Amino acid sequence: MDLDWKNLGFDIIKTDYNVRCVFQDGKWGELEVSSDQYLPIHIGATCLHYGQESFEGLKAFTGADGRIRIFRHEENARRMIRSAKGILLAEVPVELFMEAVEKVVLLNKKYIPPYGLGASLYIRPLLIGTGPEVGVRPAKEFTFLVFAMPVGPYFKEGFKPLDIMICRDHDRAAPLGTGHLKVGGNYAASMASISEAHQKGFATAMYLDAKEKKYIDECGPANFFGIKDNTYITPKSDSILPSITNSSLQMLAETFGMKVETRPVPVEELAEFEETGACGTAAVITPFRKVVDIDKDITYMYGDGVNPGPVILKLYETLTGIQNGDIEDTFGWTKILD
């Protein structure tokens, strides 16, 4: 492989194979292997017109022992079923999902980055309505596909605290909308505000609850958490996507002897946290240096401005250590593939 493993970003890179499966006449067909990066699609497909689509994101790692580990893919399978129920996609059975993910990883083995660089194979399952409908109704045909690509650490600057902007003039999701599902429509709804945050020099936008604008919702495409008084605190809201990284960090925090609270988190509580950050598969944890509330002219500051705080550092090192096999996985989170 002539890939520059040390300088991978978070970009599409062609790998050799993807796998696909079509749901027709009420049932899933065979899982097929393809080396084509394109998908022939009916111009009336519901995913194109009405956003009838859901996706997932997860990673596989090479350990120091040279073995391949996939992290919690059964959880992604279950979440994609919840998304499917929410927007009337055909549900992909857990076994089919896991088989497809494992197959893509093994077929693209040579693209899994070597141990020790913070890089991984990013796996992207996708479930879309491919049957044509011009009226607003669910498709009768669906396509499930999984592809993968090697990625580096999400932030090229490395594991460093970043600045975040509170967004008060956009919402990502409505209280009884689709924010709790991993569907493309939420991402389309967030693009303008995230791009505005980038233009103003921030890493991303922090959304507040759409109804009252009192509580913290999500941070771009990641969950928020804060640390104070030996407690890991993360917002509870019906419009937040339940992050698998967040649930893993909560379990780790408990093993560190910390308390865990899942509850509404008022914006003003940002002043009380000792450390804050966002979490998700892509970046694992993004520690915050500042959270700026432009409209209220308040800046919340964390740490020394250069290094992540001690709790975030320990959470990050433990989680990534379990993922690549450096730390024993007592939770049964990883599946070793070879």
Ligand X SMILES: *Cc1c(COP(=O)(O)O)cnc(C)c1O
- Tell me which residues touch ligand X (CB under 6 A): 57, 182, 218, 221-223, 241, 243-246, 280-281
Residue 319 amino acid letter = L
Task: List the catalytic residues.
Answer: 182
Of the pair 11, 32, the CB lying nearest ligand X is at 11
| DSSP string for 169-205 | S--SS-TTTTTTS-BHHHHHHHHHHHHHHHHTT-SEE
Residues 219/221/222/226 CA torsion (nearest 10 deg): 0
**Least distance in Å: CB of 219 to ligand X?**
8
Of the pair 131, 287, the CB lying nearest ligand X is at 287
Listed residue (124, 313, 144, 168) closest to 227, CA to CA: 313
Element (H, E) at 319: helix 310-324
In sequence order, which ranges of 60-110 are alpha helices (DSSP H)? 73-87, 94-107
**Least distance in Å: CB of 135 to ligand X?**
28
**Least distance in Å: CB of 42 to ligand X?**
27
Of the pair 20, 73, the CB lying nearest ligand X is at 73
Show the CA angle centred on residue 333, arms to residues 178 and 74, nearest 5°: 45
Q: How many angstroms from the chain centroid is the CA of residue 239? A: 15
Of the pair 132, 184, the CB lying nearest ligand X is at 184
3-state DSSP assignment of residue 265: coil
Of the pair 113, 235, the CB lying nearest ligand X is at 235
**Least distance in Å: CB of 338 to ligand X?**
24
Query: What does the alpha-carbon distance between residue 147 and residue 328 come to, in Å, rounded to a whole number?
Result: 28
Query: What does the alpha-carbon distance between residue 82 and residue 28 come to, in Å, rounded to a whole number?
Result: 18
**Least distance in Å: CB of 280 to ligand X?**
3
